[in-house]
């Protein structure tokens, strides 16, 4: 009501960073300062890469300064050119990494039940200029890797996955990181596992790993420059944060599980709000609390609900509004604004992401759910 204090005195953010053991992190900082080895494949980076590879069960996991650069390096290492098929329902960086390298992103619609790229729709977009497919494991929910791999094999295409959301997730019992030619993870501050800023490229291909290793360090091999590379290295401070996050990953996951169960309970009492539930029987980081808003049932649009929540200091978010094909860099291109992707466009109008993580308690979740229930019930009565 007007004049009342908001539901929360402090803002609840989507993606508020999960923090590991502060004392251990500071000890790592002290040690790296004492070593005066701040970057260029220091001991923290090497240890972080070993630990990541062990968690994922993958042969190679190469730490990168951030996931966008990781995508660009993987794209160049795979020799992609011409056109590459990519879902429009993804963060802009997925498409930007292609466009930045002079490649045309060919935007594909999604399967509305999974929010991931639709393999059948992707196959229809293949042209003589197509060199690859980029799948995105949205919300950590794995793509149909089998179908995409079959398409890539039959059409002799490269297959890359943007796994920014998917560290610690699995498909059919196998960890994300083991699919396609390579998979790129994000360790940005908002992610389940973070290194402040950073990422990694996972692959089981020895030759590809060696090329990625050169490309992330200016193309240098020994004392020679053998490739057109860039500076994509992770520094020792970020790796120290990553190692500390890995040690606390179990705590992060436990809180996410607890919060997810609390949201299931709280939102089940709010008509018109359907929580996205990841596949059963798989490992999942539960970092993303995502719901679809059915305005015809809820009595309010997604954007109206967003405004209500923001007024209560619950900083929920729209994702990935309005879809890459409708974003300024792409909407006026041949492959952009005139394109109709009905499932993507519908989902972009319905999706709402709620705060979770170690900065959010189950009491917070209950308050959010009760606020929505009462607010929407009041508005339906007044209609």
State how far the Cα of 241 lies from the Cα of 63, in Å rounded to an integer. Answer: 13
- Give yes or no for residue 334 having a pLDDT over 70: no
State how far the Cα of 120 lies from the Cα of 108, in Å rounded to an integer. Answer: 10
State how far the Cα of 97 lies from the Cα of 272, in Å rounded to an integer. Answer: 36
Residue 150 in any domain: the answer is: yes
State residue 382's pLDDT score: 72
Tokens encoding 111: 């399967």
Question: Taking a C-beta distance cutoff of 8 angstroms, is the pair 167, 161 a contact?
Answer: no
Instruction: Tell me which residue has tokens 């997604």.
Output: 302
pLDDT band at 3 (very low <50, low <70, confident <90, very high): low
Note down the domain range covering 309: 250-316+355-382
State how far the Cα of 109 lies from the Cα of 266, in Å rounded to an integer. Answer: 31
Residue 7 in any domain: the answer is: no
Tokens encoding 106: 């060919």
Percent of the chain whose pLDDT exceeds 90: 93
Residue 58 main-chain phi, psi, to 5 deg: -120, 155
Are residue 263 and residue 243 in the same domain, yes or no?
A: no
State residue 150's pLDDT score: 98
State residue 371's pLDDT score: 95
Residue 365 in any domain: the answer is: yes
Secondary structure (DSSP) of 84-128 = EEEESSS-HHHHHHHHHTTPEEEEE-EETTTTEE-HHHHHHT--T
Peptide bond into 31 cis (omega under 30): no
| Torsion angle in degrees (nearest 10) through CA of 290, 163, 189, 193 | 90
Are residue 273 and residue 221 in the same domain, yes or no?
A: no
pLDDT band at 357 (very low <50, low <70, confident <90, very high): very high
Are residue 241 and residue 276 in the same domain, yes or no?
A: no
- Give yes or no for residue 324 having a pLDDT over 60: yes
Q: What is the mean pLDDT of the chain?
A: 95
Give the pLDDT mean for 320-346: 87
Secondary structure (DSSP) of 331-349 = HTSTTTTT---HHHHHHHT
Residue 95 in any domain: the answer is: yes
Residue 5 in any domain: the answer is: no
pLDDT band at 11 (very low <50, low <70, confident <90, very high): very high
The pLDDT tens digits of the residues spanning 139-189 come to: 999 999 999 999 999 999 999 999 999 999 999 999 999 999 999 999 999
> At 364, which helix (H) or strand (E)?
helix 362-382
State residue 28's pLDDT score: 98
Tokens encoding 366: 């209950």
Instruction: Check residues 352 and 334 and name the one with the higher pLDDT.
Output: 352
Are residue 243 and residue 259 in the same domain, yes or no?
A: no
Instruction: Check residues 381 and 74 and name the one with the higher pLDDT.
Output: 74
Tokens encoding 276: 């996205």
Are residue 153 and residue 283 in the same domain, yes or no?
A: no
State residue 310's pLDDT score: 97
Are residue 145 and residue 238 in the same domain, yes or no?
A: yes
Most confident of 1-10, 53-62, 371-380: 53-62
Q: Give, as one character, the DSSP assignment of residue 231.
A: B
Are residue 34 and residue 113 in the same domain, yes or no?
A: yes
State residue 332's pLDDT score: 77
Burial readout 282-304 (b: 16 or more C-beta within 10 A, e: otherwise): bebbbbbbbbbbeeeebbbebee
Residue 159 DSSP SS3: strand
The pLDDT tens digits of the residues spanning 180-229 come to: 999 999 999 999 999 999 999 999 999 999 999 999 999 998 889 999 99
Residues in contact with 211: Cβ distance below 8 Å, sequence separation at least 6, in sequence order: 77, 227
Are residue 154 and residue 211 in the same domain, yes or no?
A: yes
Residue 348 in any domain: the answer is: no
Percent of the chain whose pLDDT exceeds 70: 98
State how far the Cα of 112 lies from the Cα of 118, in Å rounded to an integer. Answer: 9
Q: List beta partners, residue 107.
A: 86
Give the pLDDT mean for 118-124: 98
Q: Quick check: pTM over 0.85?
A: yes
Question: Taking Cα atoms as reference points, which of 177, 187, 147, 358 lies closest to residue 283?
Answer: 177
Residues in contact with 207: Cβ distance below 8 Å, sequence separation at least 6, in sequence order: none
Q: Give, as one character, the DSSP assignment of residue 182.
A: E
Q: What is the CATH number of the domain that holds 96?
A: 3.40.640.10
State residue 15's pLDDT score: 93
Secondary structure (DSSP) of 277-324 = -PPTTS------EEEEE-HHHHSS-HHHHHHHHHHTTEE-B-SSTT-G
Are residue 267 and residue 242 in the same domain, yes or no?
A: no
State how far the Cα of 363 lies from the Cα of 347, in Å rounded to an integer. Answer: 29
Are residue 204 and residue 93 in the same domain, yes or no?
A: yes
Q: What is the CATH number of the domain that holds 367?
A: 3.90.1150.10
The number of domains in the chain is: 2
Residue 75 in any domain: the answer is: yes
Are residue 236 and residue 271 in the same domain, yes or no?
A: no
CA dihedral for 170, 171, 174, 175, sign (positive or negative): negative
pLDDT band at 355 (very low <50, low <70, confident <90, very high): very high
Q: Give the β-pairing of 170-171 and 60-64.
A: unpaired
3-state helix, strand, coil in the chain (%, to 5): 40, 20, 40
Domain boundary among 221, 247, 273: 247
State residue 338's pLDDT score: 74
State how far the Cα of 289 lies from the Cα of 171, in Å rounded to an integer. Answer: 19
Are residue 210 and residue 296 in the same domain, yes or no?
A: no
Domain boundary among 247, 264, 285: 247
Domain boundary among 247, 277, 292: 247
Residue 194 main-chain phi, psi, to 5 deg: -130, 150
pLDDT band at 103 (very low <50, low <70, confident <90, very high): very high
Residue 326 in any domain: the answer is: no
- Give yes or no for residue 329 having a pLDDT over 70: yes
pLDDT band at 237 (very low <50, low <70, confident <90, very high): very high
């Amino acid at each position: 009501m007007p004049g009342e204090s908001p539901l929360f005195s402090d803002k609840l953010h989507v993606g508020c960073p999960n923090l590991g053991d502060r004392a251990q992190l500071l000890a790592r900082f002290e040690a790296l300062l004492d070593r005066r080895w701040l970057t260029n494949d220091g001991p923290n980076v090497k240890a972080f890469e070993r630990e990541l590879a062990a968690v994922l069960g993958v042969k190679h996991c190469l730490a990168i300064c951030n996931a966008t650069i990781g995508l660009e390096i993987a794209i160049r290492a795979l020799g992609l050119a011409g056109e590459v098929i990519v879902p429009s329902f993804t963060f802009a960086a997925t498409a930007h990494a292609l466009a930045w390298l002079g490649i045309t992103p060919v935007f594909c619609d999604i399967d509305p039940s999974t929010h991931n790229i639709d393999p059948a729709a992707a196959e229809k977009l293949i042209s003589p200029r197509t060199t690859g497919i980029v799948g995105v494991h949205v919300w950590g929910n794995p793509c149909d890797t089998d179908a995409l791999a079959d398409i890539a094999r039959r059409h002799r295409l490269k297959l890359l996955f943007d796994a920014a959301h998917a560290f610690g997730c699995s498909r059919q019992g196998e960890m994300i990181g083991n699919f396609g030619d390579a998979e790129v993870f994000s360790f940005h501050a908002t992610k389940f596992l973070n290194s402040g800023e950073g990422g990694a490229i996972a692959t089981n291909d020895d030759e590809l790993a060696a090329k990625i290793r050169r490309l992330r360090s200016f193309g240098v091999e020994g004392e020679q420059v053998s490739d057109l590379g860039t500076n994509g290295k992770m520094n020792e401070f970020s790796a120290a944060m990553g190692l500390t996050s890995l040690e606390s990953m179990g705590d992060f996951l436990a809180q996410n599980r607890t919060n997810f169960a609390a949201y299931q309970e709280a939102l089940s009492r709010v008509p018109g709000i359907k929580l996205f539930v990841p596949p059963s029987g798989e490992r999942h980081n539960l970092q993303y609390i995502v719901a679809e808003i059915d305005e015809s049932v809820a009595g309010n649009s997604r954007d109206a609900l967003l405004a209500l929540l923001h007024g209560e200091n619950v900083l929920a978010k729209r994702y990935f509004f309005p879809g890459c094909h409708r974003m300024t860099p792409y909407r006026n291109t041949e492959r952009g604004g005139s394109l109709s992707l009905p499932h993507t466009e519908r989902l972009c109008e319905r999706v709402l992401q709620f705060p979770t993580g170690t900065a959010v308690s189950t009491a917070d979740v209950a308050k959010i759910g009760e606020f929505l229930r009462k607010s929407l019930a009041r508005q339906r009565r007044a209609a």
